[in-house]
Structure 1
C-alpha cells in the first residue's frame, strides 16, 4: 500500500481496462472517481463527470486497445469533459498507447499516426501523458506536453529473478529495433544478449534470416514491447530451438494476442509468455500465458507526480 495522498487527487477510468484502475486506486488508498461513460443508441460516446473536479489533480486511465478507435474517442471525450469541468490538471494515463507502430514514414504516402494521436490528445486538453513502454521512445517528442514514459522491465526482472546471473541465460531481441530495450533488460538480468535479424515481407508476418549470438544449450528470454498476432514470437522461438536453445521464454509489456495469437503461443516452443495487464486480462489466454500487474507501478508514478517528486528515481 502506498502512503495516503492528499485529497485533491482523483483517478477516473474509461471502459477499456477498469480493473486496472480499481487496482491503482487500491494502491493509492483512494476511491475511484465517479464518471458516466456509456454509449448512445447509435454508438456515440456519452460521458459525464459525476462529481466536482474543479481545481483537482485528475488522472484518466484508458488504454487505447481493441476496439482502438472507440477507446481513443472515449479518452478524448473524457479529457474534454474534465477540461470543461475546470479540472486543475488533467493527466491521460495510457498504459497501452495504440497507433504507436506508425511512428515514421516507412513507405511513400503513409501517415504518421502516432503523431496524429498525440495531437488529438493535446488538443483535447490533456496537460500531461503517462504511458508504459512506448513502441518507440521518440514518440515522446511528438507531444507538446510533458510525457512520463514508464518501464515495465523491473516487473519482469522480479518474475525471472531465479534466472539471474546464470551463465546459460541470454536475452533475445526479436529485431534490430528492439536492441536497446533488450540490452537494458539483459543488463538488469546479468545475462548475455542475442539479436535476431528479422524482416517483415508484409504487416503481421515475420521471417528470420540470422541469429547474432550463441543460443546452443541456453535459456532464452525473448524480450519485446508488443505481442500482437504473436507471429514474431512463434517464428523466433522456432528458430531458437532449431539452433539448439534449451528453453525459450518470452516477455512482452503489451499482450494484444489478436486473431489466433494465443494458438500460436500454445503451438510454439515457448514455455511461458509473460505479459502485463496494460490491456484487459479477463480473456482466455491459455495455459502458457501469465499476466503480471503494473498497477503498483502506475500508482506510484501517479503519487510521485502528484506530490512533485521524481519519477525517474523509481527505476534506479
Structure 2
C-alpha cells in the first residue's frame, strides 16, 4: 500500500472532514486524527491554493460532542460545533464497560445498549446537516444475535435498519461474527474488514523465531463458523489448516447459549508445530483455552491466539494459569475495543494497533476513492513475508 502522505493528484473531498469519537473511543480517535492531520499537512503545498480544498488542512478533524446525563440516567446528545456540509465519521465502541455514569446516586458501567443509544443521540443532534454520515463500529452491536432460530428478536438486523433510517449512509465494522447480517439492509453501505495483515505484522514483530511454512506452522479454527477466516490465513501463508468441531448440549441454555460438551479436532498432525488459533472474539475464553489444551495434548509446540476482540468477560485468571502452565504463548487482540489496564500489563498479551488502518480508510473515503486495495492485503502480506 502506498504512503498516504505522498499521494498526488488528490481527488476533491466529498466534504470537509469531521470525526466524532464517542465516549470510550477517545484514545483510538485521537490516534486516527493524528495520522490524518500529519498526512494532510504534508499535502499542503498541493492543496492550499485550491478553493475545492477549503478547510482541508486543520490542526484537528475532531468534532467536539457530549452526551450529558440527568440523575435518572436519561441523556441527550450535544454537538459543540457546526457539522453543516461535513463528511462525518463517528467512531463508537459499544463494548467499552470502562465508561461509567451516575444514575440515582450509583455509578453504573455503560452497557452496549447505553453506547448505542448515545450514538443515536449524536446522529439525531446532527439534524440532517451533515453531507454524509459513516459509522465506524469495530465490533458490531448485537452481532451475535444475527439470525433467528426460534421466537426471538433479531437485534442486529433491527439496529442496522434503524441507523440507515436515521440517515447513516454506511457502516464500517471489523471481523463481523456473521457478515451475512448485512442482507437486512441490501441497498445500504456495509463494509466488513478483516485485520489479517495487521495480525501477521504484529506476529512477525513480536515472535522473532516464527517459521512460516507448512512444516513448522499450522492455522486452526476453533469452530466451523470461523473456517472462511482461517482459510484465508492458510492460503496466503501456505500452511495447513485444521478445525475443531463443537459438540453442544442443545437440551439446555446457559448464559444465552447451548453449552459446549466437547471439542473434536479435524486436521493433520500438529506434533512439534506452532499453532495459530484464529477467532473473531474471546468472550469467556473457556472454549479457546480448552482447544489450546487439546492441541498441547496432541504435541503442539507453541500456541498463539489471534482474535480481533478480547472481551475477557470472566476475567484474566484462566489465561494467566494457561500461560504459566505453558499451554499458550501469546494472545493478540486489536485496540478496536476497550482493553482493561490489567490486560495491558499481562506478559502474554500483545496489542495490535489498528488506528493507522482506520485513518487510511477514512482518508480514501473522504476523497470518494475505492478502498478495494485496502480491503485486500495479499500484496502487503507477501511483501511482509518476503515473497515480493
TM-score under structure 2 length normalisation: 0.76
Match of 1:54 in 2: 84
1:83-140, Cα deviation, whole Å (9 max, x unpaired): x05111011110111211111123x212222112212222232111111111112122
Output one character per residue of 1:220-268: Cα deviation in whole Å (capped at 9) or x when no partner.
11000011111111111111111111111100001111122x2222222
- What is the CA–CA distance in structure 2 between the aligned matches of 1:245 and 1:168, rounded to whole Å? 10
Say which of 2, 5, 9 aligns to 1:3.
Answer: 5
* Structure 1 residue 199 displacement after superposition: 2.8
Deviations 1:257-312 (A, max 9, x none): 1122x222222211111000111234311322221111111111111111111112
Aligned residues: 313
Whether the aligned pair in 2 keeps the contact of 1:274 and 1:291 (CA below 8 Å) is: yes
How far 1:204 sits from its partner (Å)?
7.8
Structure 1 unaligned segments of length 5 or more: list them: none
**2:19 counterpart of 1:17:** no
Give the match for residue 145 of structure 2: 102
Match of 1:178? Answer: 226
| TM-score (ref. length: structure 1) | 0.93
C-alpha change, 1:305 and 1:78, in structure 2 (3 Å) is same
Matched, 1:243 2:298: yes
Partner of 2:311: 256
Post-superposition Cα deviations, 1:59-85, rounded to whole Å, max 9, x if no partner, equal 110022142111111111111112x05
Tell me how far apart the structure 1 counterparts of residues 358 and 135 of structure 2 sit (CA, whole Å): 12
Hey, what's the Cα distance between the residues in 1 that align with 2:240 and 2:330?
20
Q: What corresponds to 2:215 in structure 1? A: 167
Q: Which residue of 2 aligns with 1:267?
A: 321
How far off its partner does 1:54 sit?
A: 0.6
Mapping 1:131-280, distance limit 5 Å: 131-143=173-185, 144-161=187-204, 162-165=210-213, 167-201=215-249, 202=253, 203=257, 205-213=259-267, 214-260=269-315, 262-268=316-322, 269-280=327-338
> Are the aligned partners of 2:214 and 2:240 in contact in 1 as well (CA < 8 Å)?
no
1:113 aligns with 2:162: no
2:70 counterpart of 1:40: yes
Q: Helix, strand or coil: the match of 1:313?
A: helix
Residues in 1 aligned to 2:73 and 2:276: alpha-carbon distance in whole angstroms: 42
Question: Is the CA contact 1:208–1:236 (under 8 Å) kept in the aligned structure 2?
Answer: no
Q: Hey, what's the Cα distance between the residues in 1 that align with 2:211 and 2:29?
A: 31
- The alpha-carbon deviation at position 2 of structure 1 amounts to 4.3
Q: Partners of 2:261 and 2:218 in 1: how far apart? A: 21
Is the CA contact (8 Å cut-off) linking 1:205 and 1:232 kept in structure 2?
no
How much is the aligned-residue C-alpha RMSD, in angstroms?
A: 1.9
Alpha-carbon distance change, 117 to 52 in structure 1, aligned in 2, over 3 angstroms? same
Cα distance between partner residues in 1 of 2:281 and 2:68: 29
Q: Which has the higher strand share?
A: 1
Give the Cα separation in 2 of the matches to 1:138 and 1:283.
34
Q: Which ranges in structure 2 are unaligned for 5 or more consecutive residues?
A: 38-59, 98-110, 205-209, 378-388
Contact in 1 for aligned 2:247/2:264 (Cα 8 Å): no
**Is contact 1:96–1:132 with CA below 8 Å preserved after alignment?**
yes
Determine the structure 1 residue equivalent to 2:167. 125
